[in-house]
Amino acid sequence: MLRVKNQQTALEEFRSLQPIAPHEMVGLWKGHGIPTEHPFDGVLENLGWFGKRFTPDMRADALLFRSGDWRLVAIDPKWIPLRLALRFYKIGRTRVARNLFSYLQRRLRASGPVASVKTTVFGGVESAAMVYDDQPIIDHFRRIDAVRIMGAMIIKGEERIYFFELSRVEGP
């Protein structure tokens, strides 16, 4: 697991990694945030975030959450008020938020993949990225090793980058 302390160190680590092609990402990936003092640090984990799933047709379930012990639920990020989430992020780390989100999962469920996977340029390097359909978000990816990738979530109009790591759960 990558351990980074601040945004600059995380960005340097990300830029040092090798690119990954979109087709190499097909499958199920377990995720966790990389703490860098971003407002979302710990929020997704508190809400039961599992990770992401990439399909062979280069579409993606951008936000997979655990529902119970075994079931995964794909949430449609279009229902998430990003600016409010960034402003009131501390609430997202509470037990109340976790319980409320668990209750709301059924209403937030995606009807299918909610993002496209393609090659984009970030920091002068072409690599796989996930472009959200209904949010101004792009997750850029770089390879850590054969089974792990690092992600950098860019929200349009937001200076801070949310960094995370994904580990392959199953093959393509």
Taking the C-alpha atoms of residue 167 and residue 157, their distance in angstroms, rounded to an integer, is 29
Taking the C-alpha atoms of residue 80 and residue 108, their distance in angstroms, rounded to an integer, is 9
The pTM is what?
Answer: 0.90
Q: How much is the pLDDT for 128?
A: 98
If DSSP codes are grouped into helix, strand and coil, which group holds residue 86?
Answer: helix
Q: How much is the pLDDT for 3?
A: 63
- pLDDT digits 0-9 by tens, 90-149: 888 889 988 888 878 888 889 899 999 999 999 999 999 999 999 999 999 999 999 999
Q: How much is the pLDDT for 79?
A: 85
- pLDDT digits 0-9 by tens, 149-159: 999 999 999 99
Write the secondary structure of 1-52 as one string of H (helix), E (strand) and C (coil): CCCCCCHHHHHHHHHHCECCCHHHHCEEEEEEECCCCCCCCCHHHHCCEEEE
Q: How much is the pLDDT for 92?
A: 85
Other C-beta atoms within 10 Å of 148: how many?
Answer: 16
* Six-digit token string for 108: 């937030």
Q: Which residue has the higher pLDDT, 64 or 2?
A: 64
List the domains of the chain with CATH numbers: 7-168 (2.40.128.580)
Taking the C-alpha atoms of residue 163 and residue 75, their distance in angstroms, rounded to an integer, is 20
- pLDDT digits 0-9 by tens, 26-69: 999 999 999 998 999 999 999 999 999 999 999 999 999 988 76
Taking the C-alpha atoms of residue 61 and residue 50, their distance in angstroms, rounded to an integer, is 11
pLDDT bracket for residue 4 (50, 70, 90) = low
